[in-house]
Amino acid sequence: MPDQFPMELPVEAVPRPAFVESLGHELAVAAATLPPTIGVTAQRVGVLADTHCVSADGADLPDSVLEALDGCDLILHCGDLSAGAVLDRLSTLAPVLSVRSRIDPPADGVRLHDGPLLVRAGHTLIGMSADIPDDIDPADLFGTDVDLALSGTSHVPRVGRTGSTLLVNPGSPTIPLSDSGPTIAVIDLDGRRSTVHIVHLPRSRS
Amino acid sequence: MSECESEAAVVAAAQSDPNRFGDLYSSHVGFIHALAWGRLGDRAAAEDVTAETFRRALRALPRYEPRGVPFRAWLCRICINLINDELSRRQNALRFSSAMPMDPPLDAASDEMAEAETRAMVHALIDQLPPDHREVIMLRFAEDLSVADVAVRLGRSPDAVKQLQRRALAGLRSLATQGGTDA
């Protein structure tokens, strides 16, 4: 494409400095509100939230959670971990990314991030936030249109849709607040098509 | 590190920290503006398209995945889509205005606007000509070179330049008659 231009551009083809500066400022303001994006490779994604594990070694995360996540090549945790050790246990299965809520340890920028966070898995763009209030458009929260919007906080599993975005709340595997009982979600990614499974776990804690 | 790898690193940095988008903007704003100006022929439209290109690029940045395609090519695709939208809009406006009885321009300002619009339309039509036709038109009428100077610039005889110019103008008339800016 560059060779479609004459070697010396007419002066009008060169942008005005004031225009460049003004647009640069506008973009900088917009960029400051956009969450970071992490690129990953994954086809089966385990999603959980509201684990509220407090033991120093994450031992109070039920074994049934790990069994249900077996085979996932990425695990996403949407906040309310309570203690960070739960991430250590999850990491024995697959790479883990999580967003923190107010009760969680400080972000480490590797596994635990201040939300919201964007995760690009192939053609699928996933937005993660500890909470997505009902009156907030996910596109506004994440600064862009996402294919999947994951959140926690309610302890109630939910799969819904707004526009082209699939909303998923995996519920809680430890403190369920609905008749559904303890739950997590497993999502199969195929191109930009996603299939969400809410996985029901035994009620007793291990 | 190759230029491609280096650019991929800058894009990855902007994805991890969107505040770094400014680096990409600074590197490409001149090119995108020139592309828009070259296709649209006026500064105001070029600035509108340039601004919208970067707004959309920022919003779509999380989805960008380098697959051997330079970031600039991705930006160009956004820009060219916007240019085509603008050309379609102009074409529709021209069809509409030619179908409607027009009052004569009321003052010098409206004269200038009409002239600017016409100039932009002509640029859009010129852009659809084959490269050699486009070149002879630009050299003769935009750069105002004589037939002899164009002949030297193109390495052709003056007679060949005159013939090329006749064909280019005929092509331009034909496009204008069709009202076609569907490139």
Question: CB contact, 8 Å: B58 with chain A?
Answer: yes
Q: What is the ipTM of this complex?
A: 0.83
- For B75, residues 6+ apart whose C-beta sits below 8 A from its C-beta are B28, B32, B53, B54, B57
pLDDT (tens digit per residue) in A107-163: 998 999 998 999 999 889 999 999 999 899 999 999 999 999 999 999 999 999 999
Q: Which residue of B has its CA nearest to A8?
A: B34
Shortest CA gap B130–chain A (Å): 12
In terms of phi and psi (left: phi > 0; alpha: psi -120 to 50; beta: otherwise), the region of B104 is beta
Can you tell me which residue has the tokens 């302890």? A155
B3-89 CATH choice from 3.30.2320.80, 1.10.1740.10, 3.20.20.70, 3.80.10.10? 1.10.1740.10
- Domain spans of chain B, in order of start: 3-89, 128-178
Domains of chain A: 36-200 (3.60.21.10)
Question: CB contact, 8 Å: B141 with chain A?
Answer: no
Inter-chain CB proximity B60 and A34 less than 8 Å: no
Indicate the helix (H) or strand (E) that contains B123. helix B108-126
CATH code reported for the domain at B128-178:
1.10.10.10
pLDDT of residue B57: 96
Q: What is the CA radius of gyration of chain A?
A: 20
Whether B6 shows a pLDDT value over 90: the answer reads: no
Worst-scoring range by mean pLDDT, B18-22, B63-67, B103-107, B117-121?
A: B103-107
